[in-house]
Amino acid sequence: MTTHLEPIARRYILGLGCERGTDWNDVRLLAERALRDSGIEVTQVLTIASIDTRSNEPAILETAAHLQLPLRFFDAATLERETPRLKNPSELVFARVGCHGVAEAAALAAAGPIAELVLPKIKSGFATAAIAKIG
């Protein structure tokens, strides 16, 4: 008798943000904490999302490689359109990068128009993480 295991549905998006030059371990540990706090396995995550100005940021790239997840990036205007759905909008972030949030907004943008945050933004010294569930 052969049993077939159901594939694990990848229904979550991990949004990440960080300051330039952040140590990758800071981002990695925060990402792992976000997953742990949410009770989500990395195998349930479809992708990591962030702002396009971090598309070459070693901390983001190395965290994605470590977790073996693809990356998706959005420009600030796209992230700004997510502002009404953010739990923690920030004027400081807007002044720096042109949108009111990176981690939450990127997770929501990647997860789609009916997505919901399952983990609002959490922070470490120089990084942010949030998780959205694909609707």
59 in Cβ contact with 127 (< 8 Å):
yes
The pTM (predicted TM-score) of the whole model is 0.93
Strands 127-133 and 116-123: antiparallel
41 in Cβ contact with 64 (< 8 Å):
no
User: What is the tens place of the pLDDT at every residue in 109-126?
Assistant: 999 999 999 999 999 999
What domains are there in the chain, each with its CATH number?
12-133 (3.30.420.180)
Residue 2 predicted with pLDDT over 90 = no
115 in Cβ contact with 134 (< 8 Å):
yes
Residue 72 predicted with pLDDT over 70 = yes
CA distance 97 to 1: 57
CA distance 108 to 123: 17
Residue with tokens 């925060």: 30
pLDDT of residue 9: 82
pLDDT of residue 98: 97
